[in-house]
Amino acid sequence: MASAALYINDHIVIAGWELSEQFVLAGGPGGQNVNKVSTAVQLFFNLKGSPSLPERVKANAVKLAGRRLSKDGVLMIEASRYRSQERNREDARERLKELILEAAAPPPPRRRKTKPTKGSIERRLKAKAGRSEIKKMRGTPDGE
C-alpha cells in the first residue's frame, strides 16, 4: 500500500489508502539486476469509486485513461523506465498526477459564431462569376 497522500492541486488530494502498488520484474536494460529485483511498479487507483475526485474530473479521466482502465473502473499505471524501484514509484505517481491534472483542466471556451464580412462575400461572388465565364468560354462556338 502506498501510504503517502498524492497532492494533485489545491482542491484535489488523493489519500494514501486509495492507491495500491505492486512490484514486478521489469524487462529492458539493467544487466543481471533485472532478473533478480522487482523494480517495475504497477500503481492501481480506483478511478470510478474514488471519493477524492469530483464527478466531472472522473468522467474526463475515464476518457483519457483508455486501455489503462479496467472494466471495474480501476486505473493501472505501469512504470519501468528506471532501474530503481523508488524512481519507478515516483514516476508512476507523477504520471497519475498528470492524468488527473489534465482531466481537471477547465473545458475550452465555446466557439463564437461569426458572419463573413461584406467584402469577403462580394469577393467570393465575383470569383464565382469569373470562373463561370471561363467555363462558358470552353464550349463550342456558335455557328454564325
Joined together, the cell numbers standing for residue 9 give 492541486
Quickly state the pLDDT bin for 80 (edges 50, 70, 90).
confident
For residue 2, pLDDT beyond 60: no
Q: Which residues pair with 23 in a beta bridge?
A: 41
Q: Is residue 121 part of a domain?
A: no
Joined together, the cell numbers standing for residue 49 give 469509486
Q: Is residue 119 part of a domain?
A: no
What is the span of the domain harbouring residue 78? 6-104
Rounded to an integer, what distance in angstroms lies between the CA atom of residue 91 and that of residue 134? 64
Q: Tell which residue, 134, 57, 144, has the closest CA to residue 100.
A: 57
For residue 33, pLDDT beyond 80: no
Which pLDDT does position 132 carry in this prediction? 95
Q: Is residue 131 part of a domain?
A: no
Q: Which of the given ranges, 61-75, 92-106, 111-125, has the highest pLDDT on average?
A: 111-125
Q: Is residue 128 part of a domain?
A: no
Q: Is residue 10 part of a domain?
A: yes
Number of domains in the chain: 1
The CATH number covering residue 62 comes to 3.30.160.20
Residues 6+ apart with CB under 8 A from 68: 75, 76, 77
Q: Is residue 130 part of a domain?
A: no
